[in-house]
Structure 1
Amino acid sequence: MAVYTTVSDEALEAFLDKYDLGEARSFKGIAEGVENSNYYLETDRGRFILTLFERRADPADLPYFIQLKQHLDTKGFPCPAPVAARDGAALQTLEGKPALIVTFLDGLSPKRPTAPQCRSLGEGLARMHLALSDFPLTRANALGPSSWPRLWKGRSETAEELQSGLADLINEDLTAIANARPQSRTMPRGTIHADLFPDNAFFLHDTFTGAIDFYFACTDALAYDIAICLNAWAFEDGAEYNYSKGAALIAGYESVRPLEAVERESLALLCRGAALRFFMTRLVDWTETPADALVRPKNPLEYAAKLAFHRKAQNAADYGA
């Protein structure tokens, strides 16, 4: 989450007139994240999150995201439920941008996840995959391997400025992933979150209570979602891998949905690909985030360090499975 578009008092009042949510009592920007403009909204009817979709959001994809969350809500999986306006449509327009109000989800995002939280997160991720197993819509992964050469083009010098020798290593990663892509197509596929970082997951103490920010959700290998989570949850500061956290996350997932042999064998490759994806988008944000945005771009070198670990890994056992 972040804030790129400022909403005036007049625009907010006119926007809320479309809903049966009463008058605004509190309205403030949320600075975390990097993608869309997000605001905390409290009215005399409750608490909500208002999102304005920004640069990476394709308007054609928005009905997919809305229906996905509606599907999860009907399945009883905890996530923000879209709120329809009086005209029956959840998707509206605010300050010239597509906009959506969703219900507020209780819980706290962990700053330093514990092993028990990692296990509960793994369980929640598997429950989400099962809840979406009959979701009828599909969406290609817009930030999958086919997009990485485009994101990388013209940025090798920036990478080299960040760390000497990094450009050659990234080129090696791109080649390795491209050569292994046919293997990934044999794994179980379905709808994945694709961005389940700690700030997108809520907990009460050590228990997972829900997920937010589904705007990278897509159809891909289910184990790729695990790989994204291992990158986001199981590394300490300085990008040292915590085997206890990784093992707990995988064990939690398998307590709900056991991994197939091909998923275990491919986990190192998937983790390397996931780290490469976030390195690429962080590298783009490092140079293109507007100077007046409330959010600060995250350092790509965090994922360069994680890539160094993944290059040496062979299979799921190297991640604590």
Structure 2
Amino acid sequence: MAVYTAVDDASLVAFLADYDVGELLSAKGIAEGVENTNYLVRTTTGTFILTLYEQRVEARDLPFFLRLMDHLAMRGLSAPQPIRRRDGSLLATLCGRHAAMVTFLDGIACDKPTPVHCAELGRGLAALHLATADFGMERPNALGLAAWAPLFAESRETADSVVPGITAVVDAELEALQAEWPTALETGVIHADLFPDNVFYVGRQLSGFIDFYFACNDILVYDLAICLNAWCFEKDGAFNVTKAHAMVTGYEAVRSLSRAEKDALPILCRGAALRFCLTRLHDWLRVPENALVTPKDPTPYYDRLRFHQRVRSAAEYGVDF
């Protein structure tokens, strides 16, 4: 259960009085999610998601996230749109936490994505990249290349107890990525966390993206590399090139990839696999006794890293040249 902060009815009614959303009908905590507390709120005018931002979310980043969602919605992309308070602000406080209300997005996450789902994701991701080209705010990637070595240093002493041999592999990989990471590719706003549970579908048609709380400025095609890692490996660890080809083809139907971007995909996929391996390792080693959320095993992303290290061309991901 990922409801870290309980909200009583009286506090919620008082909170909603600052919004033009009608009267409260019901509110229910949402179990999904890791970082924040979320409630499904129904009022006499509609259905909304109430988010209370917990300790791991930096308050200074909230205007970026909220204005980004507002920008995307205004550009016609299906994303939760923040609800303005009566004074025009997007951010409030509730039960000692920063809080915001956003519109409810129809659809469900896909736990068994097909190539059709992957193609839809690719098109939607490219549309997001194009729609944010004129977004006026920037946020550096707090979990980008520069953060990986310090992050691993916090887990290094006990890392091999979780994944045998990981320390030597990560040490070598960090050195290689520092030397080989591309620096001349197109950058912009990326979602940076488009796992299947953050993508909604109605049937097999994409209905929208949620959870923009890792969004930042970085290499655009790195976002695609994150998605290839998150969507194109089967439960047995096998890479599904058919899904990958569908995703990349869908992306290119909206935004063409340059030759340099395609050539960089193997190194970017290595970086994406390492990033999620290290954050999962960090969390795995720091599970509090009263944890409400089970941390994710870093091993699958370690295995994906090892797979990408053997890739010599993006053609192995189904990319057309």
TM-score w.r.t. the length of structure 1 is 0.95
SS at match of 2:48: strand
Query: Structure 1 residue 273: deviation in Å?
Result: 0.5
Deviations 1:265-287 (A, max 9, x none): 11011011111111111122223
Instruction: Structure 2: give runs of 5+ residues left out of the alignment.
Output: none
Q: Which runs of 4+ in 1 moved over 6 A?
A: none
Structure-2 separation of matches of 1:137 and 1:160: 40
Structure-2 separation of matches of 1:30 and 1:291: 22
State whether residues 284 and 296 of structure 2, in contact with CA within 8 Å, keep that contact through their aligned partners in structure 1: yes
SS at match of 2:244: helix
SS at match of 2:161: helix
Structure-2 separation of matches of 1:92 and 1:172: 45
Query: Structure 1 residue 289: deviation in Å?
Result: 4.4
Aligned to 1:7: 7
Aligned to 1:287: 285
Counterpart of 1:114 in structure 2: which amino acid?
T
State whether residues 32 and 295 of structure 1, in contact with CA within 8 Å, keep that contact through their aligned partners in structure 2: no
State whether residues 155 and 285 of structure 2, in contact with CA within 8 Å, keep that contact through their aligned partners in structure 1: no
Query: Structure 1 residue 155: deviation in Å?
Result: 0.9
State whether residues 154 and 282 of structure 2, in contact with CA within 8 Å, keep that contact through their aligned partners in structure 1: no
Aligned to 1:266: 264
State whether residues 92 and 99 of structure 2, in contact with CA within 8 Å, keep that contact through their aligned partners in structure 1: yes
SS at match of 2:38: strand
Query: Structure 1 residue 237: deviation in Å?
Result: 0.5
Find 1:252's aligned residue among 250, 253, 274: 250
Aligned to 1:173: 173
Query: Structure 1 residue 293: deviation in Å?
Result: 4.3
Counterpart of 2:280 in structure 1: which amino acid?
R
TM-score w.r.t. the length of structure 2 is 0.95
State whether residues 123 and 253 of structure 1, in contact with CA within 8 Å, keep that contact through their aligned partners in structure 2: yes
Instruction: Structure 1: give runs of 5+ residues left out of the alignment.
Output: none
SS at match of 2:285: helix
> Are the structure 2 counterparts of residues 295 and 24 from structure 1 closer, same or farther at C-alpha, using a change threshold of 3 Å?
farther
Deviations 1:131-189 (A, max 9, x none): 111112111001101111221113124321122111111112211111123xx220011
Structure-1 separation of matches of 2:93 and 2:59: 11
Greater mean deviation of Cα atoms: 307-316 or 103-112: 307-316
State whether residues 140 and 220 of structure 1, in contact with CA within 8 Å, keep that contact through their aligned partners in structure 2: yes
SS at match of 1:302: helix
Counterpart of 1:48 in structure 2: which amino acid?
F
Structure-1 separation of matches of 2:11 and 2:236: 44
Match status 1:96 vs 2:99:
no
> Are the structure 2 counterparts of residues 214 and 29 from structure 1 closer, same or farther at C-alpha, using a change threshold of 3 Å?
same
SS at match of 1:288: coil
Greater mean deviation of Cα atoms: 192-201 or 7-16: 7-16
Query: Structure 1 residue 290: deviation in Å?
Result: 4.1
Match status 1:19 vs 2:19:
yes
> Are the structure 2 counterparts of residues 40 and 313 from structure 1 closer, same or farther at C-alpha, using a change threshold of 3 Å?
same
Counterpart of 1:76 in structure 2: which amino acid?
G
Query: Structure 1 residue 90: deviation in Å?
Result: 1.1
Structure-1 separation of matches of 2:290 and 2:140: 32
Structure-1 separation of matches of 2:85 and 2:253: 40
Aligned to 1:38: 38
State whether residues 202 and 209 of structure 1, in contact with CA within 8 Å, keep that contact through their aligned partners in structure 2: yes
Greater mean deviation of Cα atoms: 8-17 or 57-66: 8-17
Percent sequence identity is: 50
Structure-1 separation of matches of 2:55 and 2:183: 29
Aligned to 1:129: 129
Q: Which residues of 2 match residues 1-321 of structure 1 at below 5 A?
A: 2-181=2-181, 184-321=182-319
Query: Structure 1 residue 14: deviation in Å?
Result: 2.1
Query: Structure 1 residue 209: deviation in Å?
Result: 1.2
Counterpart of 1:186 in structure 2: which amino acid?
A
Structure-1 separation of matches of 2:170 and 2:236: 19
State whether residues 78 and 210 of structure 1, in contact with CA within 8 Å, keep that contact through their aligned partners in structure 2: yes
Structure-2 separation of matches of 1:270 and 1:63: 28
State whether residues 31 and 294 of structure 1, in contact with CA within 8 Å, keep that contact through their aligned partners in structure 2: no
SS at match of 1:52: strand
Structure-1 separation of matches of 2:39 and 2:283: 21
State whether residues 28 and 40 of structure 2, in contact with CA within 8 Å, keep that contact through their aligned partners in structure 1: yes
Structure-2 separation of matches of 1:315 and 1:56: 37
Query: Structure 1 residue 207: deviation in Å?
Result: 1.1
